[in-house]
Structure 1
Amino acid sequence: MYKTIVVHVDGSPLQHARLRAAARLAEDHGAHVIGSATTGTSWRAFAVLAGNMGAPAMPAADFQALRDAASACLDAFAVDAGRLGLPSVELRLVEDEPRYALLLQSRYADLTVLSQDPGAGIDAPVRGLPEQVALHGARPVLVVPEAYAGAPIPGTAVIGWDGSMQAIRAIGGAMPLLQRAASVKLVLVNPDTLSELHGEEPGADMALYLARHGVQVDVVVERTRATHGDALLSLARTTGAGLLVTGAYGHSRYREWVLGGVTRELLERTPIPLLLAH
């Protein structure tokens, strides 16, 4: 079960959806929720930057304004958490960049809840945060799209299984959700290309592993010319899934960039919560 959940707090419109997701999970698992807001920089970095810009002295009021803005975001978060009936909430203000603050705090939590990056042309305080925290963090990341309105997580879960270490870690991180799922689809897209990772019967060994953990699992083999990401998203739509689970960046970042990686495709297009681990 998840007992500690960290939620990124930045005051953006996307925050409401990720708080609803965290509240849903906290209710199901009896979890403590930590709202984490940041100043965006440390005092030392802020002072160095000001000095490099030729400022004779670093006015403390300038940095305090950053603290005040973050505190205001936390106050609004606390109000929303109260409306959702969260029984155990903690507010944290960290003097650092969001990615570093969340990476540190994720070490002492079961799950970090972030938002999907908004589309092009929409202003956002920080972009690429889900990728950074999933790639370098010690815990799984739940990426919540703006359209999430409080549906059960997971309901039906779709797992992208390719035999990789990243996928194994994602499945381990999602286990508390998979055990509560109405059904789980273990999806292998064109598994013949990775036969050395799947054994004689692709998906059978992982399905047995999941079943021993009490997961109601079906193996789905998709042979398609579509991208892996598109195949997973299509199956999630047709099954009415409430959660996608996949490893983050199973290939090198360079290869993912050149080939148009599955991770990036899912992060950009998923209409339902996406659990990632690297």
Structure 2
Amino acid sequence: MAFKTILVHVDDSAHAADRIRFAAQMAIECDAHLIGVSTTGMSRQFFKHIAADDATPDLEKFAETLRLRASHTLDKFETITKQLGVSSVERRVIEEEISSGLAMHARYCDLAIIGQTDPHDTSRNANIRFPEIVVLESGGPVLILPFHYDYQYSGKRILIAWNASPAIRKAIQFSLPILYRAEIVQVVIFNAETHPEIFGESPGTDIAQYLARHGITVEIIQRTVKAAIGNALISLSESLGSDLIVMGCYGHARLREIVLGGTTKTVFKSMTVPVFMTH
């Protein structure tokens, strides 16, 4: 089992080049086809209007500017992937707004790689909460890279946030290609004693046995915390030296109103290492 199709979001932000390198390194390791996706930032309805006979020259010029801008960001994608030696590469310009466009194309990939929103980035895509929407609407695994990260792909020390929910079960199944390559996989369970009906008498034994049958040995860590679990998870990952967190995403996006669970919301805002997440 391996990732055979990986998508990476390409834009004109300060972190785009590093994000592309990260995705390229993963594609090389997995021998995967790598798709660079850049969006115009405007909905397809806008471009349908431009195609109408009554479109003004100014609108046509604006539409072409958006297409060219998106295409130019993919020139950087092609240059970097060629330098690093990615064997199978594809570039796509999507005439769509960023969140729904990426979510739609991510549905047909084994993994989507995007960046955490950087509040200090002044690029045209800054301050858009698209990472949350991509995770909630794509239906597949999304790897989110924090904006203050060195972007060197490793995946050697992985921390799984286990709460016995369908979301984390799905995340673990999707992340098996990464877990196989890890040197250390640790499973943390917070406040297991408060939910004996979920975790049983030996919390973590069941998921440890499941992963062992896949040839993955894990260490079970139990923590009792009174603070917010999201903060406790991030703190633990830092103390353990984890370079990747695997977790479920809890929430929904309806008419762009994003409602997230507390832990999920905290991790989106404060992540310090890449997070592999599914909804």
TM-score normalised to structure 1 length: 0.89
AA matched with 1:30: D
1:114 aligns with 114
* TM-aligned CA deviation for residue 44 of structure 1: 3.0
CA, structure 1 residues 9+152, in 2 after alignment: closer, same or farther (shift >3 Å)? Answer: closer
Which whole-Å CA distance do the structure 1 matches of 2:62 and 2:76 have between them? 22
What is the match of residue 240 of structure 2?
239
Query: Equivalents in 2 of 1:250, 1:104: separation in Å?
Result: 18
Deviation at 1:152, TM superposition (A): 4.0
Paired residue secondary structure (2:272)? coil
- Distance in 2 (CA, whole Å) between partners of 1:144 and 1:234 is 17
Amino acid in the other structure paired with 2:218: V
Give the match's secondary structure for 1:158. strand
Aligned-residue offset at 1:100: 1.9
Taking a change above 3 Å as real, the CA distance of residues 13 and 155 of structure 1, as seen in their structure-2 partners, is: same
Give the equivalent residue in structure 1 for 2:95.
95
**One-letter amino acid matched to 1:70:** A
> What corresponds to 2:179 in structure 1?
178
Conserved 8 A contact 2:21-2:80: no
In 1, Cα distance between equivalents of 2:130 and 2:155: 23
The match for 1:228 is 229
Could you tell me how far apart the structure 2 residues matched to 1:2 and 1:9 are? 19
Corresponding residue for residue 128 of structure 1: 129
1:63 equivalent in alignment to 2:63? yes
Residue deviations 1:182-204, cap 9 Å, x none?
Answer: 01110001112332221221111
Q: 1:228 to 1:43 in 2, by over 3 A?
A: closer
1:256–1:161: structure 2 CA closer, same or farther, 3 Å change rule? farther
1:16 aligned onto 2:17: yes
Give the corresponding residue for 2:81: 81
- Asked if the contact 2:136/2:251 (under 8 Å) is kept, the reply is no
Greater Cα offset, 137-146 or 35-44: 35-44
Map 1:19-58 onto structure 2 (within 5 A): 19-46=20-47, 57-58=55-56
Q: 1:228 to 1:250 in 2, by over 3 A?
A: farther
Go from structure 1 to structure 2 and tell me whether the alpha carbon gap of 1:220 and 1:62 turns closer, same or farther (over 3 Å shift). same
Report the Cα distance in structure 1 between the residues aligned to 2:139 and 2:251, rounded to whole angstroms.
16
| Cα distance in 1 between the residues matched to 2:238 and 2:121 | 26
Give the equivalent residue in structure 1 for 2:170. Answer: 169
1:154 maps to a residue whose letter is G
Q: Closer, same or farther in 2 for the Cα pair 1:31/1:47, shift >3 Å?
A: closer
Aligned length: 271
Q: How many angstroms apart in 1 are the aligned matches of 2:210 and 2:78?
A: 40
Tell me, what secondary structure is at the counterpart of 1:272? coil
1:165 to 1:86, Cα distance in 2 relative to 1, 3 A: same
**Matched residues in 2 for 1:252 and 1:75: separation?**
32
The answer to which of 68-77 and 194-203 deviates more is 194-203
> Deviation string for 1:206-261 (max 9, x for gaps)?
1110111111201100111222112211221122111001000169999966xx71
Is this contact kept in 2: 1:166–1:250, CA < 8 A? no
Letter in 2 for 1:85: G
SS of structure 1 residue aligned to 2:181:
coil
Contact kept, 8 Å, 2:133 with 2:253, in 1: the verdict is no
Q: Is the 8 A contact 1:181 1:216 kept in 2?
A: no
Q: Does the Cα contact within 8 Å between 1:21 and 1:144 map onto a contact in 2?
A: no
1:29-52, Cα deviation, whole Å (9 max, x unpaired): 111110001111245325659x9x
The residue aligned with 2:206 is 205
Q: Cα 1:177–1:78, aligned 2, differ >3 Å: closer, same or farther? A: same
Gaps of 5+ in 2: none
Amino acid at match of 1:170: A
| Structure 1: gaps spanning 5 or more residues | none
- Give RMSD over aligned pairs: 2.5
Moved more, 35-44 or 153-162: 35-44
